[in-house]
Amino acid sequence: MQLYNTLSAKEREALIEQAGKERLTISFYQYAHIGNPQILRDHLFINWDKMEVLGRIYVAHEGVNAQLSVPAENFEVFKAHLDSISFLENVRLNIAIEQHDKSFLKLKVKVRRKIVADGLDDGTFDVTDKGIHVNAEKFNELIEASDTVLVDMRNHYESEIGHFKNAITPDVDTFRDSLDIIEKDLSEHKENKNLVMYCTGGIRCEKASAYYKHKGFKNVYQLEGGIIEYARQVEQKKLENKFLGKNFVFDHRRGERITEHVIAQCHQCGAPCDTHVNCANEACHLLFIQCGDCAKKMDNCCSVACREIVALPYEVQKKMRKGITISNKIFKKGRSEVLKFKKGPGAVTEK
């Protein structure tokens, strides 16, 4: 029985082009108590592979976290399958604002220790004692109040291209890095301020809100469905859009535009730009922001050294990177001194 991918990304891309089918990019998460994550993992792979689902799905004892795409014609079958799993019945599905048929090119369902790497000992607090979920309308009201502190629970490369007006944006590489920094920097506001949080789709706020309540914050709120659902509600209800720029997403699109504001800059020349790319050198793959002019000048590379490597014959490049392991290859989040206009690590900042 097939329980893994048999096609390369290029082969899958060709099949998607040949099929000519519209695909929907979807994300969802659900915390639950799962006794045997491996059994659920195999069950999801077997069924979703038949539906031509592609994506990145994590299964753990604490629940499921999924980012995926499915042919639009198979959506109802996919939804019916979710509803057949007790803890996933009627789970909220965040459908992308901007669709792209090639947002994912493989189906990867992995068993992990946690569905979000947070570095927390969940045994020390009640993860179900979460903050108050608010919709876009209530969120807009809260963040305009003088007794509210608005915090972006995402990483530096996400908030750099888009964030809510006046949000505190921790300059961190990972979610786990932000938790203690925020708790320390906002400690004086635990009782006299509303702590309002947001993230891409809501999953990080789900855990963080329980953690901050455990740490003594009295009034904790989180944006229901994250930026993705906020943008949808703003459009449907004709509300004021208080988000600026792009929403970073963890697929081949790397971002979906929420407003026309361009708040970031090319990391190589400083020109206004909010397009994330990965360095063309496969031994590097640094994630950074690059404008069209620099892409041409640098052959889609982050540095002169990488450009020189890319200019070599492909077989030579393969020999050079033999034995080199690249962690988190697609979304490598490392800092690099070669990026002149890249903001360096620092404390919590407000924008």
- The active-site residue out of 199, 279, 291, 301 is 199
Q: 203-214 and 175-185 are packed helices; what angle lies between their axes, rounded to 10 degrees?
A: 40
DSSP assignment, residue 165?
T
CA distances from 340 to 205, 302, 333, 335 (A): 32, 10, 16, 11
Q: 226-237 and 136-144 are packed helices; what angle lies between their axes, rounded to 10 degrees?
A: 100
| Lookup: tokens for 266 | 């090319």
CA distances from 105 to 23, 233, 263, 308 (A): 12, 29, 30, 29
CB 32 within 8 A of CB 103: no
Residue count of the chain: 351
Q: Is 199 designated active site?
A: yes
How far is Cα 132 from Cα 193, in angstroms, rounded to an integer? 14
How far is Cα 2 from Cα 320, in angstroms, rounded to an integer? 34
Bridge partners of 196, per DSSP, are 150, 221
Short-list 171, 228, 170, 177, CA closest to 199: 228
CB 97 within 8 A of CB 228: yes
How far is Cα 349 from Cα 351, in angstroms, rounded to an integer? 7
Which residue in the block uniquely carries the two structure tokens 């309002």? 196
Short-list 113, 106, 128, 118, CA closest to 38: 113
How far is Cα 23 from Cα 19, in angstroms, rounded to an integer? 11
* Separation of first and last alpha carbons in the chain: 52
How far is Cα 70 from Cα 47, in angstroms, rounded to an integer? 12
Cβ neighbors of 106 (< 8 A, separation 6 or more) are 5, 7, 9, 12, 54
Catalytic residues: 199
